Amino acid sequence: MTKETKDYLHLHFLVLIWGFAAILGLLITMPTVELVFYRTLIAALGLYIVIKARGVSFRINQTRDFWIILGTGFLIAAHWVTFFLSARISNISISLAGFATCSLWTSIIEPLSMGRKVKGYELILAVIAIIGIVVIFNTEFNYFNGLLVGILSAILCALFSVINAGLSKKYDPYVITFYEMIGAWLSIVLFFPVYTRTYVDKLQLSGTVLDFVFLSILAVFCTVYAYSISVELMKRISAFSINLTVNLEPIYGIILALIIFGESEKMTLGFYVGTGSILASVLLYPLLNRRFKQKALSTDIIR
């Protein structure tokens, strides 16, 4: 087996890990907000160890950039809360179908942020994705709220991906992610007073032994390890190939959910038709981007 083949297999393994993150979120019994509190804290500690081992400076040269990075952490925290919440109020398949629209929102937000017009083929792909969303809404109306929250999670992901694309040109991606995890953790901490007054009577920061085992896997394996390896693979695999492969995450996640949870994840034909339309637009986007010789958006991968 060649080095290139091993790299591509490794990349698909990482995408499988990211698809598994939604399943771990459902297996953990503590509430979603508390779950993200621990995930961001453990991920920040793990990234601190990785950065120290690499001998990289933690310094962010511009104060404005530092606050932007911390603020981006708020978007990441909100993304993770809505992503796991979507799976809990519906199921993993619905959550991943909503998340699959991330590339759609990125294709809209990215040109707007750069001051350029949305291209014709981007509009066509957006229409295809929207048709898929409408089909799912019509056939899985019982999961309306879950899909809506999943789509909100995708929009948040698109926002921080566009921001990270600019930041990664100036700073080490590990350092960016480290401060973003701190920002995400602080966001949850600052949200706790509102959370306990409005949504719950008290925080549930205790959990079972299995909860903390799954949390450690989620933070260390699905976040720190997978992210670290993906950065290494970016040195040898094109951004186009990585973006195309990462777009398979919802497919891997839905297959894993069907295997692990069985009947509760089986959906109607309309759901798979709608999801297929969304994924078709997602997979066609980088292909058409390359066809029209435009630079694909290179983003830091945070799942």
Q: Judge whether 80 and 36 are in contact, CB under 8 Å.
A: yes
> Could you tell me the sign of the dihedral formed by the alpha carbons of 132, 138, 140, 142, in that order?
positive
Residue 302 has a pLDDT of: 65
Q: Which residue has the tokens 């792909």?
A: 125
Confidence (pTM):
0.86
Residues 176-185 have a mean pLDDT of: 94
Whether 178 has a pLDDT exceeding 90, the answer reads: yes
Residue 161 has a pLDDT of: 84
Q: Is 205 exposed, middle or buried (0-12, 13-18, 19+ CB in 10 A)?
A: exposed
Residue 82 has a pLDDT of: 96
Task: Give 81 or 287, the one with higher predicted confidence.
Answer: 81
Residue 47 has a pLDDT of: 94
Task: Report the alpha-carbon distance of residue 286 to residue 243 in Å, rounded.
Answer: 7
Indicate the DSSP class of residue 206.
Answer: -
Q: What is the mean pLDDT of the chain?
A: 86
As a whole number of Å, the end-to-end CA separation of the chain is 29
Residue 267 has a pLDDT of: 81
Task: Report the alpha-carbon distance of residue 266 to residue 262 in Å, rounded.
Answer: 7
Residue 232 has a pLDDT of: 78
Residue 300 has a pLDDT of: 53
In this prediction, what percent of the chain has a pLDDT beyond 90? Answer: 38
Give the burial string for 107-144 (b: 16+ CB within 10 Å, else e). Answer: bbbbbeeeeeeeeebbeebbebbeebbebbeebbeebe
Task: Give 302 or 94, the one with higher predicted confidence.
Answer: 94
Residues 27-55 have a mean pLDDT of: 94
Whether 185 has a pLDDT exceeding 90, the answer reads: yes
Q: Which residue has the tokens 């998340």?
A: 99
Segment of 33-37, 96-100, 239-243, 293-297 carrying the highest mean pLDDT: 33-37
**Among the listed ranges 66-80, 224-238, 279-293, which one has the minimum average pLDDT value?**
279-293
Residue 215 has a pLDDT of: 94
Q: Nearest to residue 302, comparing CAs of 14, 1, 24, 67? A: 14
* pLDDT tens digits for range 99-146: 888 878 887 887 888 777 777 777 788 888 888 888 888 887 788 899
Residue 119 has a pLDDT of: 75
Q: Which helix (H) or strand (E) holds 1?
A: none
* pLDDT tens digits for range 77-111: 999 999 999 999 998 888 988 888 887 888 788 78
Residue 240 has a pLDDT of: 59
Whether 216 has a pLDDT exceeding 60, the answer reads: yes
Whether 170 has a pLDDT exceeding 80, the answer reads: yes
Q: Which residue has the tokens 């694309």?
A: 165
Q: Nearest to residue 225, comparing CAs of 303, 125, 138? A: 303
Task: Report the alpha-carbon distance of residue 84 to residue 92 in Å, rounded.
Answer: 9
Residues 25-39 have a mean pLDDT of: 94
Q: Nearest to residue 271, comparing CAs of 257, 287, 288? A: 257
Residue 293 has a pLDDT of: 59
Residue 88 has a pLDDT of: 93
Residue 301 has a pLDDT of: 59
